[in-house]
């Protein structure tokens, strides 16, 4: 005779198996964990939660979360909720490759809201093979100036670049820095930059814009990041005559370098790359940094106020930085693309990012407005927070640049260079 205990075990095992199987079957039917035709729609966010650029992530994380909350509160695309899966890449290309694979293969993400230029540039071919749109608020890289987007043919996927960015390129905002340097009569400058893709790209963009408008580079020094001292590099740079010098490094390295610069009393006007408009830099370097300035992507979107209001209402602690509004825009425009497509697949998102942003159509500031317009049979034109999000054929946007200058121990916005002014630096058909 079989004991009760054994019977109990069998019963439990049976229940576990049938229960688990039933749950799995149900999940499959309602589409849990995938884009599919029901349930949540998964969007991935490769993030810089660790690594040298992690100080920029909190604002982007907060903006994405607030945007998704608004989208879901408005009924979500296709009346489904967005489920954001965020994974850390540490801005390491190898990690990024793994994370992208996990988000697409395991999480069934239909689009990715992230990746830095340090990750996109070396992985560009890999990203093309994934055939999943990357809508990123990050990379200023000029590498992407002619590589992303849908080439103006939304229905034809064969020529697509699959990468879109809601932040202006280095080509645009370094042009702003160059323009201001020349306006301030700095006819000769030095450049010192790190040897990673992002740091180098900023320096390249700045030099191109600066030299093509009559400036002269006295010396360019490239340094290995993570060093305990940059004094030799500074000594080399300042062996030349110039009135200003441009710095492109991650924050921690920049603090070390600018402290070395201050200790050595080298003088000259510092021009900082856009990620360096951080209070930590001012706090650590101190008074010598007064007067230093950075040209950052501006807040020239027609609906910046709507974003700022939503962000502040959500009570997010993260300070708004240059990549926070573009993160809001990336999330909104992706959700609107799904809504217009009528299906949540990577291909459908790719085919609709252009149409919801370029117009013609009803101008909308939020997902809710866009959803209503689309449901009424109208075409829409999303007007963003950072820029107007009018994607070029290469998936780029053009926006203004703001100048943040260190005054009395903190960064203060002192000037805005309009998108119209900067368009002269962006060749027609090459951006």
- Asked if residues 231 and 196 have their Cβ atoms less than 8 Å apart, the reply is no
Q: Which of 236, 302, 343, 423 binds other proteins (CB under 8 A)?
A: 236
Token couple for 365? 């500031």
Q: Which residue, 136 or 259, has its beta carbon nearer to other proteins?
A: 259
Stretch that binds other proteins, among 26-34, 98-106, 216-224, 331-339 (CB under 8 A): 216-224
DSSP 225-243: TT-S--HHHHHHHTTS--S
Q: Which residue, 263 or 420, has its beta carbon nearer to other proteins?
A: 263
**Rounded Cα distance, 417 and 381, in Å:** 24
State the burial class of residue 14 (Cβ atoms within 10 Å of its Cβ: 0-12, 13-18, 19+): exposed
**Rounded Cα distance, 183 and 215, in Å:** 11
Q: Does 195 bind other proteins (CB under 8 A)?
A: yes
Stretch that binds other proteins, among 181-189, 221-229, 335-343, 366-374 (CB under 8 A): 221-229
Closest CB 51 distance from other proteins, rounded Å: 8
Nearest to 67 by CA among 396, 384, 348, 392: 384
Q: Is the peptide bond before 283 cis (omega within 30 degrees of 0)?
A: no
Locate the DSSP E strands across 97-235: 134-136, 163-165, 188-194, 216-223
Q: Could you tell me which residues come within 8 angstroms of residue 30 by beta carbon, excluding any fewer than 6 positions away?
A: 38, 39
Q: Which of 81, 95, 187, 219 binds other proteins (CB under 8 A)?
A: 219
Closest CB 92 distance from other proteins, rounded Å: 12
Stretch that binds other proteins, among 141-149, 224-232, 338-346, 384-392 (CB under 8 A): 224-232
Which residue reads 């969007």 in tokens?
43
Q: Does 235 bind other proteins (CB under 8 A)?
A: yes
Q: Which residue, 26 or 195, has its beta carbon nearer to other proteins?
A: 195
Q: How many other CB atoms are there within 10 angstroms of residue 219's CB atom?
A: 17
Q: Which residue, 231 or 390, has its beta carbon nearer to other proteins?
A: 231
Q: Could you tell me which residues come within 8 angstroms of residue 125 by beta carbon, excluding any fewer than 6 positions away?
A: none
Locate the DSSP E strands across 65-180: 82-88, 134-136, 163-165
Nearest to 426 by CA among 387, 394, 385: 394
Q: Does 105 bind other proteins (CB under 8 A)?
A: no
Q: Which residue, 50 or 368, has its beta carbon nearer to other proteins?
A: 50
Q: Does 95 bind other proteins (CB under 8 A)?
A: no
Characterize 313-333 residue by residue with b for buried, 16 or more Cβ atoms within 10 angstroms of its Cβ, and e for exposed. eeebebebbbbbbbbbbbbbb
Closest CB 275 distance from other proteins, rounded Å: 14
Q: Which of 32, 33, 38, 55 binds other proteins (CB under 8 A)?
A: 55
Q: Which residue, 240 or 290, has its beta carbon nearer to other proteins?
A: 240
**How many residues sit in the footprint of other proteins (CB under 8 A)?**
34
Q: Which residue, 54 or 421, has its beta carbon nearer to other proteins?
A: 54
Stretch that binds other proteins, among 23-31, 120-128, 236-244, 293-301 (CB under 8 A): 236-244
Q: Does 381 bind other proteins (CB under 8 A)?
A: no
Q: Which of 233, 343, 362, 407 binds other proteins (CB under 8 A)?
A: 233
Fill in the per-residue mask, 252 to 271: x = in contact with other proteins (CB under 8 A), - = not in contact.
x--xx--x--xxxx------
Q: What residues make contact with other proteins under the rule CB under 8 A?
A: 49-51, 54-55, 195, 219-224, 226-229, 231-233, 235-236, 238-240, 251-252, 255-256, 259, 262-265, 284
């Amino acid at each position: 005779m079989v004991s009760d205990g054994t019977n109990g075990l069998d019963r439990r095992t049976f229940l576990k198996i049938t229960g688990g199987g039933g749950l799995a079957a149900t999940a499959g039917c309602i589409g849990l964990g995938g884009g599919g035709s029901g349930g949540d729609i998964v969007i991935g966010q490769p993030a810089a939660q660790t690594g040298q650029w992690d100080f920029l992530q909190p604002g982007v994380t907060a903006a994405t979360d607030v945007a998704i909350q608004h989208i879901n509160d408005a009924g979500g695309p296709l009346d489904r909720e967005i489920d954001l899966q965020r994974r850390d890449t540490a801005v390491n290309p190898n990690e990024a490759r793994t994370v992208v694979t996990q988000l697409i293969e395991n999480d069934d993400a239909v689009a990715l809201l992230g990746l830095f230029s340090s990750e996109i540039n070396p992985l560009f071919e890999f990203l093309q093979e994934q055939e999943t749109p990357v809508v990123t608020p990050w990379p200023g890289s000029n590498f992407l100036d002619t590589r992303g987007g849908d080439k103006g043919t939304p229905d034809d996927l064969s020529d697509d670049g699959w990468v879109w960015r809601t932040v202006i390129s280095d080509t645009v905002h370094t042009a702003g820095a160059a323009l201001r340097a020349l306006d301030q009569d700095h006819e000769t400058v030095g450049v010192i930059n790190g040897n990673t893709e992002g740091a180098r790209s900023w320096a390249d963009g700045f030099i191109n814009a600066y030299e093509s408008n009559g400036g002269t580079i006295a010396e360019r020094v490239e340094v290995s990041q993570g060093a305990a001292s940059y004094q030799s590099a500074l000594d080399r740079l300042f062996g030349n005559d110039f009135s200003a010098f441009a710095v492109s490094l991650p924050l921690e390295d920049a603090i070390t370098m600018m402290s070395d610069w201050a200790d050595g009393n080298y003088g000259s006007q510092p021009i900082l790359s856009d990620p360096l408009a951080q209070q930590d830099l001012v706090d650590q370097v101190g008074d010598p940094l007064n007067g230093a300035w950075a040209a950052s992507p501006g807040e020239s979107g027609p609906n910046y106020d709507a974003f700022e209001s939503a962000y502040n209402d959500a009570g997010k602690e993260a300070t708004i930085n240059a990549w926070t509004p573009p993160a809001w825009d990336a999330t909104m425009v992706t959700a609107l693309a799904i809504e217009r497509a009528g299906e949540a697949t990577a291909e459908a998102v790719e085919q609709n990012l252009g149409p919801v942003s370029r117009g013609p159509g009803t101008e909308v500031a939020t997902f809710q407005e866009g959803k209503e317009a689309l449901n009424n049979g109208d075409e829409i034109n999303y007007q963003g927070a950072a820029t107007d999000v009018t994607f070029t054929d290469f998936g780029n946007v053009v926006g203004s640049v703001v100048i943040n200058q260190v005054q009395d121990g903190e960064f203060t916005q002192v000037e805005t260079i309009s998108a119209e002014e900067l368009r002269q630096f962006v060749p027609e058909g090459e951006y």
